[in-house]
């Protein structure tokens, strides 16, 4: 794998990832771009003990442009994009409208019980392919491996940045999810704090270890593999299953069979085995209702400085679609109280996904 580093017109970093060492990535970004925005401000919510990022500059980000104006396609004479090269395999660049960055401004305290501090960190965009009309499900195994190489490279580098406490790789897919760009891509957030979900699960994992001496995530995986009824697909190194207490109508978790804290810890065979299983699951999602499935794919990795012995890197994949023409909205109970009600029996969801015929 060849990694090439260059810079965009406003100074942001751009990384090309290629399978061949002779790839020419010397194209220059010739756009006239405005100055980069300063980092968001973080405001502390004393009622939930959580940090909220306030990033007003994101209101102006690009929203669902036509394919001819896509900023993630390779550049042409008529459309200069975030990718100066006329072709690429996988590209990663600093987000032009970041929730977190190292480009700091002035931050004033707001009074009351809320503390304010700068949103130090980094947000990157990961372009999975140069093909605008493709999808992750359509990527061949070698392309998925290259995407994983990019995730691993960026996880390692971002984890070493001062102030970063957790690195999160994810994909939002589908207009129903709220995407702003249709080109196949994901994002990486380098947070200046440990996220609420991770704090919650690591707390549960710590209590589980005190009670049993085991790792909570490993024990969940072992129990699901033994029960079998919610397993959707598996291979030598990975298992995909619907969790017994699924929150979402369609929800699949993908675990490696060996505990590692983050993607960096995966062995080459484990990296290679992920793509065929994951794209099979994605095709099952698309085949479930006969329409492209909107989804969020979220890599759960260990924080940088805490809980690494308790953590178990895995992906959680879920969709808000519950029928071919109905979505699950986070209404009163979910949005106000964080108390989920799922309309779909997890065992039935797993059965339906197993029943989908994939090519």
Dihedral angle sign, alpha carbons of residues 91, 97, 99, 103? positive
Residue 143 pLDDT exceeds 90:
yes
147-205 pLDDT tens trace: 999 999 999 999 999 999 999 999 999 999 999 999 999 999 999 999 999 999 999 99
Taking CA atoms, 57 is separated from 90, 189, 200, in Å, by 27, 17, 30
Cβ contact 146:19 at 8 Å: yes
Q: How many CB atoms lie within 10 A of CB 319?
A: 24
Tokens 């249709």 correspond to 182
**Per-residue pLDDT tens over the stretch 12-51:** 999 999 999 999 999 999 999 999 999 999 999 999 999 9
Asked if residue 242 lies in contact with residue 232, where contact means CB atoms within 8 angstroms, the answer is yes
Question: Is 197-355 in the same CATH topology as 2-193?
Answer: yes
Q: What is the dihedral of CA 145, 123, 120, 309, to 10 degrees?
A: -30
Q: What is the CATH number of domain 197-355?
A: 3.30.428.10
Overall average pLDDT of the 88-99 stretch: 97
Q: Is 185 a catalytic site residue?
A: yes
Per-residue confidence (pLDDT) for residue 56, from 0 to 100: 87
The structural domains of the chain, with segments of one domain joined by +, span 2-193, 197-355
pLDDT band at 358 (very low <50, low <70, confident <90, very high): confident
DSSP per position, 75-122: PBTTB--SB-SS--SEEEEE-SS-SS-S---------TT--EEE--SE
pLDDT at 61: 86
DSSP 304-336: SSS-TTT---EEEEEESEEETTEE----IIIII
Among residues 294, 38, 335, the alpha carbon closest in space to that of 171 is found at: 294
What does the mean pLDDT of the chain come to? Answer: 96
Q: Is residue 296 a contact partner of residue 170, using CB atoms and an 8 Å limit?
A: yes
pLDDT in tens, 105-128: 899 899 899 999 999 999 999 999
| Structure confidence at residue 44 (pLDDT) | 96
Task: Give the pLDDT confidence score for residue 130 in this predicted structure.
Answer: 98
Find the angle CA(229)-CA(315)-CA(192) to the nearest 5 degrees.
Answer: 145
Least confident of 49-63, 270-284, 315-329: 49-63
Contact present, 275 and 297 (Cβ < 8 Å): no
Is pLDDT of 285 > 90?
yes
Per CATH, is 2-193 categorized as 3.30.70.270?
no
What distance in Å separates the CA atoms of residue 127 and residue 186, rounded to the nearest whole number?
7
Inter-CA distances, 172 with 113, 175, 187, 252, Å: 34, 9, 8, 15
**CB-based contact 53:97 (threshold 8 Å):** no
Name residues whose C-beta falls within 8 Å of residue 31's C-beta, 6 or more positions apart in sequence. 8, 9, 80
Q: What is the pLDDT of residue 3?
A: 98
Catalytic residue among 57, 103, 183, 185: 185
């Amino acid at each position: 794998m060849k990694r090439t580093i260059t810079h965009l017109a406003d100074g942001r970093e751009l990384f090309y990832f290629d399978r061949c060492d002779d790839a020419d990535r010397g194209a220059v970004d010739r756009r006239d771009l405005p100055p980069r925005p300063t980092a968001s401000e973080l405001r502390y919510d004393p009622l939930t003990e959580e940090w909220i990022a306030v990033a007003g500059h994101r209101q102006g980000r690009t929203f669902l442009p036509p394919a001819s104006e896509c900023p993630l396609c390779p550049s042409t004479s008529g459309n200069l994009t975030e990718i100066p090269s006329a072709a690429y395999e996988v590209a990663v660049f600093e987000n032009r409208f970041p929730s977190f960055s190292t480009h700091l401004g002035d931050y004033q305290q707001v009074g009351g019980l809320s503390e304010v501090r700068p949103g130090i960190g980094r947000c990157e965009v990961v372009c999975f392919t140069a093909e605008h009309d493709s999808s992750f499900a359509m990527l061949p195994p070698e392309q998925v491996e290259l995407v994983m190489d990019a995730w691993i490279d960026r996880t390692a580098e971002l984890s070493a940045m001062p102030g970063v406490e957790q690195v999160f790789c994810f994909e939002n897919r589908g207009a129903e999810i709220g995407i702003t760009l249709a080109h196949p891509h994901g994002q990486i957030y380098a947070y200046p704090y440990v996220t609420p979900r991770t704090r919650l699960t690591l707390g549960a994992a710590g209590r589980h270890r005190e009670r049993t001496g085991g790792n909570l995530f490993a024990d969940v995986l072992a129990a699901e593999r033994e029960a079998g009824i919610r397993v959707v697909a598996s291979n030598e190194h990975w298992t995909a299953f619907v969790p017994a207490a699924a929150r979402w109508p369609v929800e699949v978790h993908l675990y490696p069979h060996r505990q590692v804290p983050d993607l960096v810890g995966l062995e080459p065979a484990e990296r290679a085995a992920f793509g065929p299983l994951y794209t099979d699951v994605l095709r099952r999602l698309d085949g479930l209702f006969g329409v492209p499935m909107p989804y969020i794919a979220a890599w759960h990795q260990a924080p940088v400085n805490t809980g690494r012995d308790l953590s178990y890197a895995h992906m959680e994949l879920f969709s808000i679609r519950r029928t071919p023409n109905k979505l699950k909205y986070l209404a009163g109970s979910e949005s106000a109280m964080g108390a989920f009600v799922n309309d779909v029996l997890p065992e039935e969801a797993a059965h339906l996904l197993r029943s989908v015929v994939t090519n």
